[in-house]
Chains A and B, each alone.
Chain A
């Protein structure tokens, strides 16, 4: 009975076993385990499939429905393509951690209760930190910052979950109204993983420090499980519309200013998740279908873009736009696959992004949200600008950097071609994806009006890009982000206090020293060799003081009687 094997177990156990596998067993495990997981995902029935008792609660470890299966499906496909791409990755820690990470993400999307969500949530934080750490010494400090932010998010989530269970008496994970402090804490915990502003800087800080294959898997799971839990827990929460729109433009602006190709793509993850968060905030069936399908297509085209960038990094060791350019000559497959990913992220007609993102805009239009719709349209133009053209242009064209790298190994090319086919296939034939969305799809993406509008929007963005190319020229700069607070301001404040406290400490020590010396001098003066209290007392003195005491006693007795 295969249905009783929980889908998350295969990848988590496989990840733990991976370091002990030798020879052909390792690539076999890397490729087969995700496919077995995909099969198991589709064996999960609707409703609770696996329960366990824990601390007096009955945990719903596996609970299936359409939304869970949709996310778990794309996670399993991603684990497969990520493994294929990373077959020649020699860092075992990264591969093992990536499997545990993917398995935990699948655990989150099948979790029927808040405690199970939390357990897999934290497993993901640990496993993903290990993926970053495994890239080597240069990634250590970014990995530490990454872990700190995610553990903080975990604390918020745990406090929220504890409060929610205390208030409602139920551990079930269901849609919640944003009406209590615990729920606000749960939402905040979810949003940190979604890369929502202001605690978003962990993403462009840590992901680009991972290895050429590490960032491909990192891009898929953390932010998209966050999209899943937001969709499950907080659909239709108005705050998410504004937050999502902010993320959309924040991602574009920072990506425009960025020089590092993988940081461009990192900011663009925030931008894309912003579209999904906005859709969740709108909360209608159309918008939620849009957010869910966009998460599905996004995982594929973003991984494709990062595989293309990873191939360039793997073959040249360079990631800055200022060092790259002209690579189309010797890396045509990597270049074409990168362009297909770039067209998909830009929602170009006949690519996967077109059939998913436009549903979110349609959701806004159906609700007559004019401002939201205009902003989403402007942002769609901006996506083509910051990722759709910028990434391929600066990496593969632009100028001749003199670099003549060969194409990457076959497995990396195969993974890219696989995902490029999916991007175009889903774009041309959206029906199979529409069939597995949480709500029935009434949306027709390919109408003349729609296609003409999107082509105008995108190609005129392209015109703006090439006309303003001088303004977009890259320089050897970074742009300060919120992480400046904990990377510069925090340490500066600490040093300031440190210097001040040193001075206070010195003053206190001096004062204490002076006081101690004063006491010592006093003791010496009275009790030292010449001190009055240290002299030998003559008998006469004693007689005198005894007389004084007796006289005093006499006077007192007269007064008393």
Chain B
């Protein structure tokens, strides 16, 4: 039933390869970055590692908060 070209394994693999190549090129392009207002920003590949780590931190924090605050979505119905 689900045979769209976009969902085939080979397509997904190729998309991943393309994505990783783009990421690598972006990190290499960091040499063109000359603007730095703050100390951490001057470290190589700042946008890459800072963006990645921020998102990991946000997901982990959200997950932890969810342990305490998640309820079934019928919670307010009764």
**A→B interface (CB under 8 Å):** 249, 252-253, 256-257, 259-260, 320, 326, 328-329, 365, 368, 370, 373-374, 377-378, 381-382, 385-386, 400, 402, 447-450, 452-465, 468, 471-472, 475-480, 487-488
Contact = CB atoms under 8 A, between A and B. Distances in A.
Contacts of B52: 381, 460-461, 463-464
Say whether chain A's binding surface is mostly helix, strand, loop, or mixed: helix
Contact of A256 (B33, B62, B75): B62
B55 A381 contact: yes
A448 B32 CA distance: 7
Contact of B33 (A370, A377, A449): A449
B23 A400 contact: no
Given A400-B2, A459-B23, A478-B71, A452 B47 contact: yes
A386 B59 CA distance: 10
A456 B1 contact: no
B10 interface: no
B50 A457 contact: yes
Given A449-B32, A478-B73, A328 B6 contact: yes
Contacts of B23: 459-460, 463
26 contacts: A253-B58, A253-B65, A257-B62, A329-B4, A370-B39, A374-B38, A374-B50, A377-B54, A382-B55, A385-B59, A447-B35, A448-B32, A448-B33, A452-B30, A453-B35, A453-B47, A457-B51, A459-B22, A459-B26, A460-B55, A461-B52, A463-B23, A464-B52, A471-B63, A480-B71, A480-B75
Contacts of A326: 2, 7
A279 to B, nearest CB: 16
Contacts of A449: 32-35
Interface string B46-78: 111111101111111111011001111101100
A452 B50 contact: no
A452 B75 contact: no
A452 B70 contact: no
Nearest to A402: B1
A457 B65 CA distance: 25
A448 B76 CA distance: 50
Contact of A257 (B32, B57, B65, B72): B65
Given A252-B58, A459-B26, A381 B32 contact: no
B5 to A, nearest CB: 11
Nearest to B62: A256
Contacts of B32: 448-449, 452
A26 B5 CA distance: 44
Given A450-B35, A462-B19, A471-B63, 17 more contacts: A257-B66, A365-B37, A373-B37, A373-B38, A381-B54, A385-B58, A400-B7, A452-B33, A453-B33, A459-B23, A459-B26, A460-B52, A463-B23, A463-B52, A464-B51, A479-B66, A488-B76
B47 A455 contact: yes
A480 B69 contact: yes
A253 B62 contact: yes
Nearest to A475: B70
Contacts of B2: 326, 400
Residue of B45, B55, B69 most packed against chain A (CB within 10 A): B55
A468 B70 CA distance: 19
Given A328-B6, A400-B1, A464 B45 contact: no
Contacts of A457: 47-48, 50-51
